[in-house]
A and B are shown apart, each in its own frame.
Chain A
Amino acid sequence: MFRSHLRIAIPVSCLTLVLLSCATGPRVRQGSITPPTGLNEPMLELRYEGGMIANPDPTPFVRVYPGGRVMVHYPAYTKRAGDYSLQLNDEELQALLASFSNEGVLTLQEKDLHVMAVEMRANVMEPQIDDHGMEAVVRIRGESFIAQGRAMMLNVDQTIRASADLLRAAPDSAFESLKSLAAGVSRLEELARSESLRKID
């Protein structure tokens, strides 16, 4: 049971060199994302929208930078209020990026999600757990996406908006791209609760 709602925003500058196969298929090509040209640009961003909080803090919750630096922002209305950071080593960074570095995630479009939702949901149903419409918004950026030894995408800038219900249901789905996305979001949330976080004064 889930609520699925994804909106995708891909800027015109995102040049797809190779026509990728439909994201709904069970197999997706794994690759790697090269960092954005600007070192100050995060490769990954996670923030939340909707839910019960009026005028929520717009600062992204988690940001992951090319060198492995992770910034976590807890709004003033949370127990951990403040900014934190931790440093991933290269191996940890690549492991984190791996969840987002496949053609399925990088090409997810609303129509693909529609197809997935129809297949996953045979009957009308309400969300089993009501989070008041909370959505996770993931943004992935990079200079290129490389798979099978060649650049398959330049100027990667993919934004995916997914409800908490959808992400909860994803691990049980047959869609690798959705499972990969959910695993990546889960990993980012784990980082935000890591004991290695250091508060920034």
Chain B
Amino acid sequence: MRETLATIILLLLAAPAGAIDFNFVQQPGMPQEVVDGFVRAGELWQDLLNDDITVNLNIGFELLPPMVLGSTRNNRIVVTYTQFVNALGAQVQSADDTSAGQSLQAVPAFALLINRTSDNPSGSGSAQTFLDDNGSANNTTIRLPRANAKALGLLDATAGGSDASITFSSDMLWDFEPDDGIDADHFNFVFVAAHEIGHMLGFTSGVDVLDDNSPPGGGTFNSNVFTWVSAADIFRFSSVSVAQGAGTIDWAADNRPKFFAIDGGISNLGEFSRGVIHGDDRQASHWRDNQGLGLMDPTFAPGEVSQITNLDSRMFDVIGYELVGNIPSSVEADLRIAADTGFAVTYTVVVANDGPDAVSGATVANQVPGPIGDITWTCVASGGATCSSVGTGQINDIVNLPVGSSITYTVNAIVVGADNVASVAPPAGVNDPDLNNNTNTP
């Protein structure tokens, strides 16, 4: 956004009761279809989030460097981890909020995996990760976009001043009307704008700052100065970080998988991108590319329709926003279970003749104690022995056994009368509409 603009035009996107008010501050002369596109992008978020806050957003449409779709500037504030956790605790609205809150690391500090810092035990700037749990500034600080802070009540809900600036390239082909599909060579303006607003609302990762401020591009710096952990980062995990202890987040700049979880890292809900320089060539402030995870994927293709997915919604839910409606973001699955009322068992009976003489007409019997039923058996003879090949009920068979021969009976049966209880439970955040069929009752 050019600071030299003499005048600005204010456009207040009036919100339904309880929804976000977007205060778009636009450049003079912006095409109306661009303004309308931003308004529609704002409406997508109003349909999703129910927070009574005002967001001040500078919007622009001008010539940007070639091939750049858009540029953003996000204004942030710093709070303590304790303030952040308390704010989240005051806004528990959904099952996801509950799960997320229960899995947070205890205040006042959080542990994280980090790398490429000057105090890395494996050597200054080393890519090897290490556990940083020393309670210093980067373990006690959360950096929030102003809009996210407003939603959490950590900044006045109607505070003035710019929350962010978003400028789109006037050089690109844009389709401003997503309802009838997106033209093949055009980009979906409304959803790309919604994506940028998503960053402004809090979908961001400080890992990009570490990625950028470590060798070869910068640094090295001490881990303590990386006070850039975002709200979304608190739900960023890897198998390595979780192995350090439940809830330990992964804030390293490297190409290992990192994922979103709301139960301290147990359940992988979706992967994040890993960083432009040391990761997968995509900013860590996104879902992983090419998996169709949601609006906050890192790239848009011409002709792409896009959508806000349940995964997108769940992230905004747990970082401090209230979802509209009956938690539409929640994954729903009607799980049911059924199990036999008896235990199936299979066992073998082996009969052999070790000599010195052959035997004809020997009786083999097997009286099984206890409540067992539905018995069937098969017989395999070797070394010249003979037996009945199949039978039902308890074994009672006449056999011939030459010296060195053997017979193997395989018995299948059901142990009846014992309680065989089985159950299935949905993971955290999954709504099961019918819990009556989740337990098998004998």
Partners in one complex: yes
Chain A positions near chain B (C-beta within 8 angstroms): 3-6, 48, 50-56, 61, 75-81, 110-111, 113-114, 117-118, 121, 123-134, 136, 164, 189, 192
Count, A-B residue pairs, CB within 8 A:
121
Residue of B nearest to A110 (CB): B216
On whether A124 and B171 interact (CB within 8 A), knowing A48-B66, A118-B219, A130-B74, the answer reads: no
Task: Report how many residues on chain B are interfacial, defined by Cβ distance under 8 Å.
Answer: 45
Question: Can you give 23 A-B contacts (C-beta < 8 A)?
Answer: A5-B212, A5-B217, A50-B281, A51-B67, A52-B70, A52-B192, A54-B300, A56-B67, A78-B67, A78-B173, A117-B217, A118-B219, A121-B218, A124-B221, A125-B213, A126-B208, A127-B212, A128-B73, A130-B199, A133-B282, A134-B65, A134-B68, A192-B66
Q: Are B225 and A53 in contact (CB under 8 A)?
A: no
CB distance from A139 to the nearest CB of B (A): 16
* Residues in B whose Cβ lies below 8 Å from that of A53: 67, 69, 299-301
* Residues in A whose Cβ lies below 8 Å from that of B71: 129-131
Interface residue from B186, B192, B209 paired with A124 (Cβ < 8 Å): B209
Residue of B nearest to A52 (CB): B69
* Residues in B whose Cβ lies below 8 Å from that of A61: 66-67
On whether A114 and B216 interact (CB within 8 A), knowing A52-B192, A77-B186, A133-B276, the answer reads: yes
- B343 at the A/B interface (Cβ < 8 Å)? no
17 extra A-B contacts, CB within 8 A, seeds A6-B216, A121-B218, A164-B65: A51-B68, A51-B299, A52-B299, A53-B301, A54-B301, A77-B173, A77-B185, A77-B187, A77-B302, A114-B215, A114-B216, A124-B213, A124-B219, A124-B221, A126-B209, A129-B72, A189-B65
CB distance from B26 to the nearest CB of A (A): 18
Task: List the 5 shortest-distance A-B pairs measured between CB atoms, nearest first.
Answer: A54-B299, A54-B301, A133-B276, A48-B67, A114-B216
Q: Are B277 and A134 in contact (CB under 8 A)?
A: no
CA distance A115 to B379 in the complex (A): 80
CA distance A111 to B277 in the complex (A): 15
Q: Are B171 and A78 in contact (CB under 8 A)?
A: yes
CA distance A51 to B283 in the complex (A): 9
* Residues in B whose Cβ lies below 8 Å from that of A192: 66
CA distance A58 to B436 in the complex (A): 56
CB distance from A128 to the nearest CB of B (A): 7
CB distance from B279 to the nearest CB of A (A): 10
Q: Are A129 and B73 in contact (CB under 8 A)?
A: yes
Taking CB atoms and an 8 Å cut-off, the chain B residues in 164-217 that contact chain A are 170-173, 185-187, 192, 199, 208-209, 212-213, 215-217
* Residues in B whose Cβ lies below 8 Å from that of A117: 216-218
